[in-house]
Amino acid sequence: QRDEWAAMVHALSISRDGQRFEISANIGDPNDVADALRQGADGVGLFRSEFLYMGSDHLPTEDEQYRAYRQALINMQGKPVVVRTMDIGGDKPLPYLPLPREMNPFLGYRAIRICLKHPEIFRVQLRALIRASKYGPLSIMFPMISTIAELRAAKKIFNDCKAELQKERPGLGDDIKLGMMIEVPLAAINADQFAKEVDFFSIGTNDLIQYNFAADRGNDEVSYLYQPLNPAFLGLIKHVIDAGHRHDTKVAMCGEMAGDRFALPLLLGMGLDEYSMSASSILRTRALMAKLDTNECARLVDAAINDCVTANAVQQLVKKRITVE
Ligand code: PEP
Ligand code: MG
């Protein structure tokens, strides 16, 4: 099996019936790129930029961030890199940015909510990203978007930064693709509207599951409610993918579910375009993808959503219909 996976390092991410997808890496640091490439990543699907902030004793300056993003892009050798703007708050505190103590940090002041309240902090990151974009194909995505107004406000700040930088370098940043995480239930429900306003979605299942099941993702007592295969939840994922595709918006997934072997046949059957996961899962996923037929997987999705009522039943169905390693 190790040999089978090793042969996958330079292989395309392709289903048995010849459909092409992307299998990318989640990283937290530009130095993670080497491992991502060793594991055959098609790109970086999620650069968790908050680790730059957490690994520093001050808000990283524009130049410090610029160097980190440039390094990631150069080291990826022309493969696409998706940087998520900082997702501080929730379970990720910043010692030098005192946030109010909250009863419900995951429902509180975090991520894009901080960035929109403090555009002076947000602008430093966006300017660094726009400057770095000349070193490779860069996409930027916003975390924790709940409403269209938030998305538009974030895009406006991005466009202002770009216009500013373009006074000196015309065209700089024009190739950057803009996307958003789908990790708040309302964003998933409202995916048709959002799809008209972004180039791509990336489904963050860690948070999307936590919020849909109202179950803290870090609390063992409620971990039984972490159910990526729940048929109702699968229906929501399918809705997001279909909505994206109705508007030519590419749909990725960067939560843990993207690297889940039981979920893969279902996601493939729904037509998910990009699978972003920890580097160590890439080769296993590519090997499994090569054995799956997308039409057969689409029938499996139908059965999972329409004939199953529990996550367990879906798992049994996937096991029975498809030989999972
Ligand atoms: C997610 O919520 O699924 C996600 C990828 O983001 P994070 O795990 O960093 O919250
Ligand atoms: Mg998240």
Residue of minimum CA distance from atom 4 in ligand 1: 204
ipTM over 0.90: yes
Q: Which of 53, 202, 206 has most ligand 1 atoms within 8 Å of its beta carbon, as the pocket-test mutant?
A: 206
Rounded to two decimals, the pTM is 0.97
For the Cβ of 87 lying below 6 angstroms from any atom of ligand 1, the answer is yes
Amino acid identity of residue 1, one-letter, is: Q
pLDDT tens digits, one per residue of 201-252:
999 999 999 999 999 999 999 999 999 999 999 999 999 999 999 999 999 9
Q: Report the 10 Å Cβ neighbour count for 203.
A: 27
Indicate which residue's Cα is closest to atom 1 of ligand 1.
Answer: 204
Q: Could you report the per-residue pLDDT of 64-121, keeping only the tens digit for each?
A: 999 999 999 999 999 999 999 999 988 788 989 888 889 999 999 999 999 999 999 9
Q: Which long-range contacts (CB under 8 A, 24 or more apart) does 31-35 make?
A: 32/279, 33/71, 33/72, 33/75, 33/76, 34/75, 35/279
pLDDT (tens digit per residue) in 141-196: 999 999 999 999 999 999 999 999 999 999 999 999 999 999 999 999 999 999 99
Q: Is the CB of 183 under 6 A from ligand 1?
A: yes
Sequence-ordered alpha helix ranges (H) in the chain: 2-6, 33-38, 50-54, 62-75, 112-117, 119-132, 148-166, 185-189, 191-195, 205-212, 231-246, 264-270, 282-289, 294-307, 311-321
Kindly list the protein residues that place their beta carbon closer than 5 angstroms to ligand 2, a single-atom ion. 183, 204, 207
Q: Tokens 């993918």 label which residue? A: 241
- The Cα 276–Cα 87 span in angstroms is 17
The ligand that comes nearest to the alpha carbon of residue 26 is 1
